[in-house]
Amino acid sequence: MPRFAPEPVHDPDAFLGRWVYDNPALAARRELFTRWLTDPTPREDIAEQLGVRLGELLRSFNSTAPLGDPLPFGYRSAPFATVSMAGTCDDVADGRWPLFGTPMTLRCYLRDLSLLPQDMVEAADWNFMDAGLPGFLGYLYGSVHDGTLYLAGLQSDLGVRYSYLFQGRGGGTEVRVGDDVVERSAEEMVAAYGEYVPVLRRTFQRYWIQIMLGAAVTWARSAGVDRIGILRFPFRSEEDVQGHVVRRVYAELPERISGVDETVRVGDESHLYSVAPIASVESYLGTRFSRP
């Protein structure tokens, strides 16, 4: 049975006050964050109203703390690195990030930049999360509390939507180009990047969930964090389908890491996580995962 955390109920307003609204490093962006957290206007419309490019806007929400040093790791002999940031990202506004503890955002990068063209990986970075570093693949976000990394999200548009981007599924597609998101035809994308799809699949796409989890383990080991939790949240109707990526990450993955359900109370809400010791998560990743 799930157990309730023994500590007092966490205060989400205190979290936002400390890490966003009253954070001296974000003082110049307080008004912008207030709008981001309270205004349902689509992000593209906010950028247009403010007269800034979408990339400039989203970087304001995704660059909230100093970056850590790259921490290398490997999966299936491919070289990766994770870069930590003890701050929030734009997902703080999506309603699925339980606001407690110390925020943590982890970015994942491909270290061998000769494998894939930079503009190919950039095409899928619609959230402008690369922090200006090449080889960006995806990111994780959540909170650290009491020796546990509580993950609220594991995301990779490159891993999930590669077939729409580079194999012509679904016709035209939106891609990131510099600081803008623009429409490109399927034919154009296939002509430019189709030859790299086998490398993408072999290196990252088939294993993106495990690689993201490997990034979390790599950072946790470096930080002395003992456990990793993965959020279990109620699915939307379109997500509650066998094989859907949301089910794979937030229902099937918690089972595979042999986690124990733990409930964390934040304000009036209770959030269920599957929490496992680092050793159990590493056991799930197996010998394909390696650290220096």
Kindly state the tokens that stand for 50. Answer: 């403010």
Which tens digits make up the pLDDT trace of 242-276? 666 777 777 778 888 888 999 999 999 999 999 99
For residue 86, give the amino acid letter: A
Contact at 8 Å (CB) between 81 and 130? no
Query: What are the pLDDT tens digits along the chain (292 aa)?
Result: 344 444 568 999 999 999 999 999 999 999 999 999 999 999 999 999 999 999 999 999 999 999 999 999 999 999 999 999 999 999 999 888 999 999 999 999 999 999 999 999 999 999 999 999 999 999 999 999 999 999 999 999 999 999 989 998 877 889 999 999 999 999 999 999 999 999 999 999 999 999 999 999 999 999 999 999 999 877 676 666 666 677 777 777 888 888 899 999 999 999 999 999 999 999 999 999 999 8
**β-pair partners for 100:** none
With beta carbons less than 8 A apart as the criterion, state whether 214 and 286 touch. Answer: no
Q: What is the C-alpha separation between 166 and 198, in angstroms, rounded?
A: 11
Q: Name 127's Cβ contacts closer than 8 Å, sequence gap at least 6.
A: 58, 62, 89, 90, 139, 155, 157
| Cα radius of gyration rounded to whole Å, the chain | 19
Helix (H) or strand (E) holding 35: helix 30-38
Cβ–Cβ contacts within 10 Å for residue 159, how many? 23
Question: CA of 259: how far to CAs of 35, 210, 230, 277, 279, in Å?
Answer: 37, 15, 9, 8, 11
Query: Greatest CA separation found in the chain?
Result: 56
Query: For residues 13, 16, 17 and 23, what is the CA-based torsion angle, rounded to 10 degrees?
Result: 170
Q: 79: how many CB neighbours lie within 10 A of its CB?
A: 17
Closest CA to 70 of 146, 128, 150, 135: 135
Collect all residues with Cβ–Cβ distance below 8 Å to 255 and sequence separation of at least 6. 274
Torsion of CA 70, 135, 133, 68, to 10 degrees: -20
Tokens of 286: 């197996």
**pLDDT for position 220:** 98
Query: Residues near 250 by Cβ (< 8 Å), separated by ≥ 6?
Result: 230, 231, 232, 233, 235
Cβ 257 vs Cβ 212: under 8 Å: no
Q: Which residues contact 14 (CB under 8 A, 6 or more apart)?
A: none
